[in-house]
A and B are shown apart, each in its own frame.
Chain A
Amino acid sequence: MTASRTIAEQLQRAGVSRRNFITFCGKIMVAAPVGLALTNKLSPQAMAATIGKAKRPSVIWLEMQDCTGCTETLLRTSQPDLGTLILNIISLDYHETVMAAAGNDAEAALNDAMKANDGKYVLIVEGSIPTKDAGVYLTIGGKKGSEKLQEVADHAAAVIAIGSCASWGGVPSSTINPTGAVGVDSIIKNKPVVNIPGCPPNPYVLLGTVLEYATTGKVPKLDSLGRPLFAYDRTIHDHCPRRAHFDAGEFAAQFGDEAHSKGWCLYKLGCKGPVTHAPCSTRHFNEVVDCWPIGIGAPCAGCTEKDVAFTVPLFTTVDIKRPVPPDFYPEVTPEHRPVSPVATGVAGLVGGALVGAGFIASKKLNEGTSDEKPKE
């Protein structure tokens, strides 16, 4: 539709103030301090210039077995009005929850978008895909979810799986997994899939990924599970503001006890931080500081990790497989009290004086003189 305009043009047309845009760029920089070419700039202004020159990427957003939480997280921002910003930085050509069209019109919109930006649009997928019983548990417009997904993905330039459900199956896939729910990369095999797990994930991680693609033509570096390294390289534990309490052995034993009120480590309450790769500890939610589980005193549930989230009970403690000690441990043979150089010097002087006195005394004795009374 209007995807041929550059982002700068679109923002201008939409009347988005430059200040709001710079602020937005700053937020993306904070969300992705390393790992993205986009944010590897000297200032938000420089980043704004780069983004401004890029064409608005066309985005098609499919929802599978989802709760719409990932959409909500994106829309849940307000400073500036990210909803507005998003719609002007990306061209959200198809999104079932947000778009005005419905029914046949919606189908038509999708087909139009796919045709107009064939091979150039970014496909964002939210929700898991059922595979059991021939996938009957998700039908959209008469088509099986997995089929629709494959169809749209075939003509996409990049595929992003947003949220834990799309990344590895999420909530529906836990325990008995009645629908055989799987993540996007179990269905789409002919295209690389970027996974942005979380329940919900941080919206700025999504935006950073999309804009990196829009400005450089490449998706960010990924780990072995397809997750952008700039956000998922560390565990919550490694980046946790309460880590000092863990290191000092200060744990809350029960919700509401004194240690809990003091903000001590939640490990013993079942915090999955040590085994959860996620950016939450340094990028919070809803644009409110400390608005994230541990920040409000709730142990991390490990929502990004398959085999942890919705599988390991909330209050069960986890094994820490690779305890990475901070520098705050004494070594096995620490150095103790050093020797005083002054004392050594004084001892040398005293010793020397005694030796000298002895020398002189014995010489005197040799000579046989006994008039002098030698100093004792």
Chain B
Amino acid sequence: MSTDRRGFFKNIAAAATLTAIPTAALAREKHKAPADAVGLLYDATKCIGCKACVVKCKEVNNLPADTDGYGGGLYDAPNSLNGTTKNVIQLYKNAGEESFVKKQCMHCIDPACVGACMLGALQKSKFGVVAYDPDKCVGCRYCQAVCPFNVPQFQWTKIAPRIVKCELCKDRLAEGEEPGCTEVCPRKAVIFGSYADLLDEAHKRLRENPGKYVPKVYGEHELGGTQVLYLSHIEFEKLGFRFSQQRSVPDLQQTVSHGIYKGFAGPVALYALLGAVMFRNRKKNPEEEKES
């Protein structure tokens, strides 16, 4: 009996030393937007729900119409982002309050999807855009699980499915053009620009229009900051933005994991320890050497 308890405590002690480190871990450095960061500023008070941005996005990205949705097979009517829709307009309507809301990738400054992806198919690339490379993708869908905005979509019906999400028209950006959605918006409800400029503009609108907006630029601080910013006259939670924590999603997991592993030092040390103990034990019991 006693050996079991001792053994048990040894076991726990070993595991505990490995994992005691999270509490003492140095906080991971907070990520900042890159110097050339671009973004979008979407002002829900200006949006008229015309969906020109939805149409243009499909055109620019060669995406097929979404007739599965509630368009009854006749209309391209996606009801949310999906494998054929990188940008969608939804409507919040309740008790006299109404607002349209545009949904697409938020191009987070410290993205969960980038932290998750095994081979880096999702990366923060030029201008801070979160880009996708299908060649590195095994279709594990871990990125979908971790994204707090449920942005990455999967092509469930395809034999060679990819992840589908807004990439801020990165090819057009490379040519010096603006993204499709901002180009066609007839009321300039969504605009493109440098992240710094857009943040300034957003604050300017808050200052100059007291009482018109919820006094917050969503995306400035939330989840470590996003390069797509939102202004609204209705609480962001009602528009489907569930989370307002300031800590980025990867911060906890990476702090803990790096604290435990310390690069390869942790595993190597453990392996050495295990090997050493077994070696010593083998010396103690030579007759059992052959058995396995």
Contacts and interface: CB of A to CB of B under 8 A. Distances in A.
- Determine whether A and B are in direct contact in the complex, meaning some CB atoms lie less than 8 angstroms apart: yes
Contacts of B53: 249
B48 interface: yes
B28 to A, nearest CB: 32
Interface string A234-262: 00000000001011111100000000000
A87 B90 CA distance: 55
A317 interface: yes
Nearest to B238: A332
Interface string B68-98: 0110000111111000000011111100001
B76 A332 contact: no
Chain B interface secondary structure, helix, strand, loop or mixed? Answer: loop
B38 interface: no
Contacts of A244: 75
Nearest to B54: A249
A371 interface: no
Contact of A330 (B52, B55, B76, B88): B88
B76 A248 contact: yes
B145 to A, nearest CB: 15
Contact of B91 (A246, A249, A267, A329): A329
Q: In the complex, which of the residues A317, A331, A332 has the most CB atoms of chain B within 10 Å of its own CB atom?
A: A332
A144 interface: no
B27 interface: no
B108 interface: no
A323 B79 contact: no
Nearest to B234: A332
Nearest to B79: A330
B55 A325 contact: no
Contacts of B240: 332-333
B233 interface: no
A268 B188 CA distance: 13
Contact of A329 (B52, B55, B89, B238): B89
Contacts of A323: 48-49, 98, 100
A320 B70 CA distance: 26
Interface string A322-342: 010100111111101000000
B90 A251 contact: no
Contact of A268 (B51, B78, B80, B186): B186
Interface string A140-175: 000000000000000000000000000000000000
B55 A331 contact: no
A319 B186 CA distance: 10
B59 to A, nearest CB: 10
A161 to B, nearest CB: 33
Nearest to A333: B240
A301 B9 CA distance: 85
A251 B90 CA distance: 19
A63 B133 CA distance: 73
Nearest to B80: A334
A319 B47 CA distance: 10
Interface residues of B, number: 31
Nearest to A247: B51
A330 B90 contact: yes
Interface string B98-111: 10110000000000
A333 B90 CA distance: 9
Contacts of A330: 69-70, 77-80, 88, 90-91
B159 to A, nearest CB: 20
Interface in B21-70: 48-56, 69-70
A279 to B, nearest CB: 23
Given A248-B76, A249-B54, A250-B55, A329 B49 contact: yes
Given A246-B50, A249-B53, A331 B91 contact: yes
B98 to A, nearest CB: 7
B90 A249 contact: no
A332 B89 CA distance: 9
Nearest to B69: A330
B92 A249 contact: no
Contacts of A317: 186
A331 B93 contact: yes
A333 B94 CA distance: 13
Contacts of B89: 329
Contacts of B212: none
A246 B187 CA distance: 14
Contacts of B187: 319
A248 B75 contact: yes
A72 B101 CA distance: 48
Contacts of B186: 251, 267-268, 317
A325 B91 contact: yes
Contacts of B55: 248-250
Interface in B153-179: none
A251 B55 CA distance: 10
Nearest to B98: A325
Contacts of A248: 51, 55, 75-77
Interface string A301-327: 000000000000000010110010100
A251 B48 contact: no
B239 interface: yes
Given A268-B186, A317-B186, A332-B90, A249 B51 contact: yes
A267 B48 CA distance: 12
A277 B8 CA distance: 82
A268 B186 CA distance: 7
Interface of A: 244, 246-251, 267-268, 317, 319-320, 323, 325, 328-334, 336
16 contacts: A246-B50, A247-B49, A249-B50, A251-B50, A267-B50, A323-B98, A325-B100, A329-B90, A329-B91, A330-B77, A330-B79, A330-B90, A331-B92, A332-B101, A334-B80, A336-B80
The 5 closest A-B pairs by CB, nearest first: A249-B51, A330-B79, A329-B91, A249-B55, A249-B52
Interface of B: 48-56, 69-70, 75-80, 88-93, 98, 100-101, 186-187, 238-240
Given A248-B75, A251-B52, A332-B240, 8 more contacts: A249-B54, A249-B56, A319-B187, A325-B91, A330-B70, A332-B91, A332-B238, A333-B240
